[in-house]
Chains A and B, each alone.
Chain A
Amino acid sequence: MEKLQRINVKLYLSDADSLSSDEAFRVFNGWIAESGDEVLIDVADYSHVGRGPETILIGHEANYILDSDGGEAGLLYARKQDQSGDVQDRLRGALAAALRACRRLETEPELANKVSFRGGDIKVTANDRQLAPNTEEGERDLRAALEPVLDELFAGAQYAVERDVSNRERLNLRVRAKGDFSAEILLANLAS
């Protein structure tokens, strides 16, 4: 677990229909032209497959995905390249990057304030079956690294953590916090 680098974070749209794949395609293309420190490369349209990744902003360090896997639409941040620090730092980094992307979508002029995310509902996936198998031991290790970050994120509010134990799934934790949290507030909590 200590070596884990590939971390996925998904946040869910408050209204599943508030962001279409066409809109995401246009917005993501705009992000490439205005990318800051990140290398953003391409946008892939998979809206025809129905369930799963619909529109993907491909990056060097990470992908940003309008994702409807499991019938739940949201923004999936998929970290691919190594981050510095220990696994807790990397989890914090991935959460922060995902929240920044959510915030960017929420404030995107083209989307006219219609997009918002349920900040209190987050799925974290260890996208590496070798380093982080979906086992009880894996869950214990991931929770140990993640919970201090979640305490910061939710500023001490209560939350529940649940794992999909199917052995075909990657190690994953679905986190549901008590109370309403916006992406903006969560970002501020992480920064403080």
Chain B
Amino acid sequence: MSPSSWKEALADRIAGDLAEEIDIFETQIHLRKQGKIEEKLFAETRLRRGAYGQRYDNGQRNDGSKTQRLRYPDVPTKGPDTVWDAPGMMRIKIPFGGLNCEQMEVLADLAEEYSDEILHITTRQDIQLHYVHIDDTPDLMRRLAAVGITTREACGNSVRNITACPLSGICHTELFDVTPYAQATMRFLLGHEDCQDFGRKFKIAFSGCRHEACGLANMHDMGAVAAVRQVDGVQQRGFELYVGGGLGAVPHHAQLYSDFIPEEELLPTAQAIARVFARLGEKRNRNRARIKFLIAKIGIEEFRRLVEEERNILPPDPRWTAYLSDLSAYDEEPLKEAQPLNGAPQETDFVEWKRTNVYPQRQSGYSAATVALPLGDLTSRQMRQLASICGQYVKDTVRTTVEQNIVLRWVSDADLPQLYAALKVAGLGQPGAGTIVDITSCPGTDTCKLGIASSRGLAAELRKRLAIKSTQLDAAVEGLRIKISGCFNSCGQHHAADIGFYGNSRKINGITVPHFQVVLGGQWRENAGSFGLAMGAVPSKNIPDVVDRLAQRFIEERQKEESFQVYIQRIGKRDIKAMLDDLTLVPTFEENSWYYQDWGDTRAYTIDDLGKGECAGEVVSATVMEIASAEREVFEAQVALEDGQIDRATQSAYRAIVRSARALVREQYYDVPDNADAVVGEFRTRFFESELFSLQFANYFFTAHQEGTVGLDATAAHRRIEEAQLFIEGAYTCYDKIAAQPA
């Protein structure tokens, strides 16, 4: 008799402890339904299992004119603000992006049976399925576990997916293949007891090279970059280790922890870092709980001392080095023999695809082919077709990428035309991988609770427009990268793009208009070597014009082989602001209501209930004027920083914060004295303690007030300016809230 459940059917294929964990989770779901597990606890439990709430799941939805309560059948929730029956997102960890054909087949099956037949590749090499009902998650996990995939610690305050360069092992410039180390670190830290008490998530990345984008080590909590040294004439492998990097609202560049950690010390060092983070990291204020804040607070030297102290008292663990004895076990086997591409004339579309999507491997006769996925999405049928194609050409040498694509490694060069033809049949033969057309985007308002503007809608629109002219694009422009986040939290990695955008909003005559902040000059290469700076908010519908204008000016004004980053630095913010000034204007609703909808959404745009607040009308309030003035001061701070006047930049940023805070205080206490101490005190009482204002952004104010405005270095000044910009965003949001309250 055939088994009637997946649990029964897969019992022999799932490791005992993993099977037990999933059984426990299934029980926890039942207990939560019976009210026997506290909501907050269960929320963290399900998050650590990869089950994530989606945007609508507080049980409400705005239809463009009003918010209505969705009539879910059951009352209980599955965690704070998340309704039991609301289907949610399932994040599936794919360590270093590595996939095999069997896993791809199973992922396709799961998308069909439990999700919406779409698989989404994330900016951290995970795969996400959306609209999954929580009751289906245990079977989904079992089916994944049976092919060696886990969702454990994909979300929550844990070690997230460990990423690595998708070209590891086949790249021309790497020192060595980091894949075994990424794999070993993932296995070692997954469920490790020293990683269960973090205040926030912890992200790790591996790079084989220092100068390429590679694993983007500089923007991770822990980034390991391959390094070698000679010891007594013998080459020793190790890593340059970076800590405390991160994007988020205010990006932090990682700091060098050590220029050489020997390979046998990689895992114990990671464990010691985890211990220090768990012990000393912030727990109460989530907005200051990433390890970057701990390191910024105590300094890298003290952090290093603490980690070394911790390392010295760690009980030895054989897993630290066990994997090193057989690194070759991780070597990949090509399916086919290396054969050169014959010299026969090829179709134009193949030539174009090969130009942008094929990377000749270090191993002669083989190439890596990138499957460019629009917005990181593919259907379950396409995933199944891709698994079949892989089985024919490369077998199990597949990687997801942080640019939301899939790379097939070890393609025999002779097979490239047939591979391309097969991909085309599956609708997966788009050219333009790694070019300006290949836009990265987080989910934004489509499914993310935090999204402010439609990053996917904008990405789809830009992709559509750029694809039309892709063959005519100037080479200088073609190589630019565009990355879009739906809010300031940076999941679209906009800080590291040549041209980045993050969603925000502005009220125009009382009606909310979707905007994107323009962030220019970030560096993708050099492991995300530097971050861009905000240039101003532009209405969402004008963003395609921003891209066109920047591209055109870059082509016209570029000096020799100047990079976009250098070009942006050379022309400076004044010029850029002047270039974009007219695009920041929004016509009235009556003149052009199109501006009041977001890309990819036919409903009226809203971040709350659409409607005119008390300030509606032609008169702009003094508060809004004052916040706008503060915004101007931030711009001046940016210019000062650019001119090397660090103290002046810091002072301008701080003044901008105080000015916008005072504007808000004056809404309630008109005669507040015009001095910073008084403003801090009143702001703390009226807006921070009452939680009217974003607590995260309010803390920027208190920290800046405490630290003063003299003696900061350029990096800290840069950060202060970013914080000032975000404080102003918070001031706008807060003012909108106050204005919407009944008199």
Contacts and interface: CB of A to CB of B under 8 A. Distances in A.
B113 A128 contact: yes
B113 A52 contact: no
Given A81-B133, A170-B113, 8 more contacts: A48-B374, A48-B463, A51-B427, A52-B117, A53-B116, A63-B131, A130-B5, A168-B105
A49 B379 contact: yes
A162 to B, nearest CB: 19
A33 B68 contact: yes
B382 A49 contact: yes
Contacts of A49: 118, 374, 377-379, 382, 427
Interface residues of A, number: 37
B603 A127 contact: no
Interface string A40-84: 111011101111110010101001010001000000000011000
B153 interface: no
Interface string B342-380: 000000000000000000000000000000001101111
Give the interface size bracket for B toward A.
35 or more
Nearest to A125: B112
B86 interface: yes
Contacts of A52: 117-118, 379-382
Contact of A22 (B3, B116, B602): B602
A69 to B, nearest CB: 6
Interface in B90-140: 105, 109, 112-113, 116-118, 130-131, 133
Contact of B427 (A29, A40, A50): A50
Contacts of B603: 29
Contacts of A41: 56, 61, 70, 86-87
Contact of A48 (B61, B130, B375): B375
Contacts of B55: 42
A127 B113 contact: yes
Nearest to B377: A49
B117 A60 contact: no
Contacts of A32: 61, 63
A178 interface: no
B16 interface: no
A88 to B, nearest CB: 19
A6 B5 CA distance: 14
Interface string A88-130: 0000000000000000000000000000000000000001111
Kindly name the residue among B4, B113, B601 whose own CB sees the greatest number of chain A CB atoms within 10 A.
Answer: B113
Contacts of A35: 71
Contacts of A56: 116, 131
B381 A51 contact: yes
B361 to A, nearest CB: 29
B117 A42 contact: no
A25 interface: yes
A165 interface: no
Contacts of B377: 46, 48-49
A131 interface: yes
Contact of B113 (A6, A51, A81): A6
Interface in A1-51: 3, 6, 22, 25-26, 29, 32-33, 35, 39-42, 44-46, 48-51
Interface in B41-61: 54-56, 61
Contacts of A40: 70
A58 B600 CA distance: 17
Nearest to A48: B374
A129 B113 contact: yes
A50 B71 CA distance: 33
B131 A44 contact: yes
A39 B427 contact: no
Interface string A117-155: 000000000011111000000000000000000000000
B85 interface: yes
B91 to A, nearest CB: 17
- Which 4 A-B pairs have CB atoms at the shortest separation, nearest pair first? A52-B379, A48-B374, A33-B63, A26-B602
